[in-house]
A and B are shown apart, each in its own frame.
Chain A
Amino acid sequence: MSDDHGLVEMQPTPGQKLAAIFKQREVRVATAWGVLVTFIFFIIGGWIYPSWMPIAMSTDMKSIERLIVIFTWISAPICGIVLGFSIYTFLHRHKGDTPPADGPAIRTNSLVVGLWVIVSSALCLVAIVYGLIEMNTASAATAEHKKNAMVVEVTGSQWAWSFNYPEQGVVSHELNLPINRPVEFRIISVDVNHSFWPVQLGVKVDANRLQTTVVDTTPNKLGTLDVKCAELCGLYHAYMETSGEVMSVADFDAWVTSHQGGHTA
């Protein structure tokens, strides 16, 4: 490390320093552990979240699933570095009841610190840029769908959801939606804060009193929807849930016709 006292020599370039670091056996073994961990996290990341999460029934939910997978991949090398080096030192631990002999007096290593900051900043930047692009895609879609979106007015109250379809003249406690038509939810609460969460659609927003919040999505898969409340809202918060369905256009029209004018469950 510091054997340059009194010697007039060319300083090694950062590249040569880096190569020298990787010539050490312990670095290579720890790196091997790190690569193994990275590989495991990479593989797991690809299927574990999609296997846990419910079926994606909108483009938003699909992009969330993809984003979580990609973030897991970005994190895999971080796990590799941290766990690879941890595992190596753990396996080379000192046994016994007396303190071990002193190790090398390494105070710092500016190359390693610099590299660490650059790499972690770069990974952080990737995550930020990726997230901003996804947000931008979502708002572009919102603007595009503004005109032909079907409006659903969602009202949260302790402890039930109700849905008003002004265009169709239907009021319901079930959230039924036609497939492939953009839908704009306008959410409000009549009492405390709730949070409107149609789980399979991948959108969520709070229901506030006297403040309408808006969120939109496009259901693109037929199936059953779970609607939950994601903000503690009092005694029966856990039971403030309902269901619904993403239907074919014909089924939706039939449902509308049979419910028009009346308030039904």
Chain B
Amino acid sequence: MTTLDHHASVRPVPNPKKSLITKLNMGTGLVVGIIFAVATYYGLGGDSAGVFENYNRTLLATMFMWSIGFMVGIGAFIGPFRWLIGKDLTDEEQLYLAGDGQGIKRYFKYCTDHKVVGIQYMVGVMALLGVGGTMAMMIRTNLIQPGSKFVGPSIYNSLVGLHGITMIIAMIIVVTGPFGNFIMPIMIGAADMAFPRLNALSWWVLFTAIPVLCSAWFLGGIPTGWTAYAPLSVQAGPGMNAFIATIIIFAISTAVAGANITATVVAMRAKGMKWNRVPIFVVGATMSVALAIPAFPTFMVSMIMTGLDRSYATTFFDANLGGSGWLYAHLFWIMGHPEVYVILIPGVAVLMEIAPVFVRKPLFSYNAAIAGFAGITGLSVLVWAHHMYMSGWMPMLNGPFMVTTEMISVPTGLIFLVILGTLWRGRPWLKLPMLGVYAFLWNFLIGGITGLYLSDVPADNYLHGSMYVTAHFHYTLMGAALTGALAGLAYWFPKMTGRMLNERAGYISFWLVQIGFQVLFLGMFIAGAEGQPRRVADYSINFATSDLISSIGAYMIGLGMIVLLWAVIHSWRHGKIAPMNPWGSKTLEWTVPYPVPLVNFDTPPVVTSDPYGYGKASN
């Protein structure tokens, strides 16, 4: 906990003159990080050794030392160090770290204010989505006609892997990063996150993963897809080290962020905010990060093992020497299936938060919504091996995994019920956020039903590993989760920037993206059903029509996203000044002005009901 609270009323001008803290920022982080990296690289002999294992060891060490160096340089360890020697940061220093009154500079510092962290995450996510989207455009350009004429198989395979992991990382943080940090503490009436310094840590650790991931381009790419199956990943070139290091660093960031968000919601809710009064977005975001806490470590472990196989010639995944590729697949999917719900649930929760506001009705069956989230969260840890039906690992267990997988359709059905029930007998106000609710209903319906075929073992005999799978998970992750995140952007933009998002550009972007999305993935469903495997740089002529359709849809999405980017940048700078509560919402974040004060509320709010008290009683 910080000591900010008792300073709120006094607000001295922070003046920790001599403190090192005032001298440190992103620039010093970069300098120290690069020094650490260069020293490590040449200290370990660079690439002069010429031995596969030695080079991998050097590269991995370099990447981790860059990350550690950056965190040292930005001052992340000053607090813990002081604490170790029996002191702590002074109140002035703590207040300085919160960044109050430091203007734009605080966004480049180790700033503990959750609103600053939220904006940092938002810009970071937009950058990741931009990079991942550009790679998607390159993939579709290569597939526009048979022959792999645009980039060729080597670069294509790298694009597939990098697009995959970039988008997965972006989608994991797309809601809980910006909105979970900026909005959620205000929504529950807290002054900040439970652990503000850990909050800054989670963002800056994640930041250090981005250059590591980008370095893959210069080390020969990631030719394994984001699943990085062993033994292909053990065989892969030096770019694989970037993947390994990125995942390990990212897993640390997510663990820190997950623990922080969970602790905040459990411990820091406003007086009177009982569990049945917590806004549904907060419930969803919390369940999602709570699910991530046990899930991601297995990914981290699988990457540590891959790293050891590659740099110390261990044999975890080497069948010749007693290892097993199936071990990797298990570790990966024990994370991998919960992870899709870590992505999905916050996006859905955003839409559930939006729907009551724009229909002016209470959320239909709050308990069913919780039961839906809890059911999905619980079952999601029992279904991972449906990704391995066709691996030959243990065909006898396909039946049980099919049963658990198909059972998820029941709690998922509750999500539809809650949203439909909220819409029913209301007159929805179709502002941009509300359009997202309708797009979600269609996209998630298609994503869910196509998932039903894939969950079925006999049908998966045909569909597994085909373009059909790719289309299916884009419907759920992009059509449902990203739509939820973009609706959240339109909804909370006024609170985060003080300005309204340009509506006309927003509508143009919405329709371009949504229509393009249907065209793209309808084409891909057809290609999959026709028998085109996924992750192929080239294909035979009989898939040409469906792939051409897909590429046309992809360009529409690309265009729509550029319009959205323009809208965000333009509105952020020149948009119409937003009123305090433009949508007439009843959640707490709309009761604070823009710019939101350092401790959010002048007097801590007291909650007496849930935030869904819309509507007139029928008698």
Report which A residues bind B (CB closer than 8 A): 1-3, 26, 49, 52-54, 60-61, 63-64, 67-68, 71-72, 74-75, 78-79, 81-83, 85-86, 89-90, 92-94, 96, 99-109, 112-113, 116-117, 120-121, 123-124, 127-128, 131-132, 134-135, 138, 187, 191-193, 195, 197, 199, 202-206, 208-211, 213-214, 226, 228-239, 241
Verify A191–B231 contact, CB threshold 8 A. Answer: yes
B453 located at the interface, meaning its Cβ lies under 8 Å from any Cβ of chain A in the complex = yes
Q: How far is the CB of B203 from chain A (nearest CB, A)?
A: 32
B148 located at the interface, meaning its Cβ lies under 8 Å from any Cβ of chain A in the complex = yes
Verify B458–A112 contact, CB threshold 8 A. Answer: no
Contact digits for B451-494, partner A, Cβ 8 Å, 1 yes 0 no:
01100111101101110000000000000000000000000000
Of A54, A75, A106, the contact of B425 (CB 8 Å cutoff): A106
Q: For the complex, give the distance between the alpha carbons of A131 and B459 in Å.
A: 9
Verify B453–A238 contact, CB threshold 8 A. Answer: no
Measured between beta carbons, the chain A residues less than 8 angstroms from B604 are none
Q: For the complex, give the distance between the alpha carbons of A99 and B154 in Å.
A: 54
21 residue pairs of the A-B complex, CB under 8 angstroms, read A67-B459, A93-B430, A102-B361, A103-B426, A113-B368, A116-B413, A117-B414, A124-B409, A131-B402, A135-B458, A192-B229, A195-B390, A197-B465, A203-B461, A208-B391, A209-B319, A209-B325, A210-B319, A228-B533, A232-B157, A237-B536
Name the 6 nearest CB pairs between A and B, nearest first: A213-B392, A230-B465, A105-B615, A238-B536, A103-B426, A52-B529
Verify B539–A238 contact, CB threshold 8 A. Answer: yes
Q: Which residue of B lies closest to A26 (CB)?
A: B425
B575 located at the interface, meaning its Cβ lies under 8 Å from any Cβ of chain A in the complex = no
Verify B409–A120 contact, CB threshold 8 A. Answer: yes
Q: Contacts A205-B392, A213-B392 given: A54-B537 contact, CB under 8 Å?
A: no
Verify A103–B535 contact, CB threshold 8 A. Answer: no
Q: How far is the CB of A199 from chain B (nearest CB, A)?
A: 4
B365 located at the interface, meaning its Cβ lies under 8 Å from any Cβ of chain A in the complex = yes
Q: Which residue of A lies closest to B423 (CB)?
A: A89
Measured between beta carbons, the chain A residues less than 8 angstroms from B615 are 102-106
Verify A204–B465 contact, CB threshold 8 A. Answer: yes
Verify B361–A103 contact, CB threshold 8 A. Answer: yes
Verify A102–B392 contact, CB threshold 8 A. Answer: no
Q: For the complex, give the distance between the alpha carbons of A44 and B73 in Å.
A: 61
Other A-B contacts than A53-B462, A64-B461, A108-B366, 11 sampled, CB-CB below 8 A, are A67-B458, A68-B453, A75-B449, A82-B420, A104-B425, A105-B615, A124-B410, A132-B399, A230-B390, A230-B466, A237-B157
Q: How far is the CB of A216 from chain B (nearest CB, A)?
A: 12
Q: How far is the CB of B533 from chain A (nearest CB, A)?
A: 5
Q: For the complex, give the distance between the alpha carbons of A3 and B617 in Å.
A: 10
Verify A208–B325 contact, CB threshold 8 A. Answer: yes
Q: Contacts A105-B618, A238-B153 given: A89-B235 contact, CB under 8 Å?
A: no
Q: Which residue of A lies closest to B403 (CB)?
A: A128
Q: For the complex, give the distance between the alpha carbons of A123 and B358 in Å.
A: 32
Q: Which residue of B lies closest to A99 (CB)?
A: B584
Of A67, A101, A120, A121, the contact of B360 (CB 8 Å cutoff): A101
Q: For the complex, give the distance between the alpha carbons of A26 and B320 in Å.
A: 67
B421 located at the interface, meaning its Cβ lies under 8 Å from any Cβ of chain A in the complex = yes
Verify B535–A232 contact, CB threshold 8 A. Answer: yes
Q: Contacts A195-B465, A228-B531 given: A106-B402 contact, CB under 8 Å?
A: no
Verify B421–A112 contact, CB threshold 8 A. Answer: yes
Measured between beta carbons, the chain A residues less than 8 angstroms from B225 are 232
Which of the candidate stretches B25-33, B291-299, B438-446 sits at the interface with the other chain? B438-446
Measured between beta carbons, the chain A residues less than 8 angstroms from B324 are 211
Verify A105–B362 contact, CB threshold 8 A. Answer: yes
Number of chain B residues whose Cβ lies closer than 8 Å to a Cβ of chain A: 90
Q: How far is the CB of B231 from chain A (nearest CB, A)?
A: 5
Q: Contacts A79-B445, A128-B406 given: A89-B428 contact, CB under 8 Å?
A: yes
Verify B533–A234 contact, CB threshold 8 A. Answer: no
Contact digits for B221-240, partner A, Cβ 8 Å, 1 yes 0 no:
00111010101100100000
Q: Which residue of A lies closest to B360 (CB)?
A: A102
Q: Contacts A128-B402, A213-B392 given: A86-B157 contact, CB under 8 Å?
A: no
Measured between beta carbons, the chain A residues less than 8 angstroms from B425 are 26, 103-104, 106
Of A107, A205, A234, the contact of B365 (CB 8 Å cutoff): A107
Verify B427–A239 contact, CB threshold 8 A. Answer: no
Q: Contacts A94-B429, A100-B360 given: A116-B417 contact, CB under 8 Å?
A: yes
Q: Which residue of B lies closest to A94 (CB)?
A: B427
Measured between beta carbons, the chain B residues less than 8 angstroms from A236 are 153
Measured between beta carbons, the chain A residues less than 8 angstroms from B417 are 112-113, 116
Q: For the complex, give the distance between the alpha carbons of A191 and B362 in Å.
A: 58
B538 located at the interface, meaning its Cβ lies under 8 Å from any Cβ of chain A in the complex = yes
Verify B456–A127 contact, CB threshold 8 A. Answer: yes
Q: For the complex, give the distance between the alpha carbons of A132 and B401 in Å.
A: 11
Of B413, B452, B464, the contact of A204 (CB 8 Å cutoff): B464
B424 located at the interface, meaning its Cβ lies under 8 Å from any Cβ of chain A in the complex = yes
Q: For the complex, give the distance between the alpha carbons of A226 and B539 in Å.
A: 12
Q: Which residue of B lies closest to A49 (CB)?
A: B529
Q: Contacts A68-B459, A83-B442, A206-B390 given: A231-B229 contact, CB under 8 Å?
A: yes
Contact digits for B193-230, partner A, Cβ 8 Å, 1 yes 0 no:
00000000000000000000000000000011101010
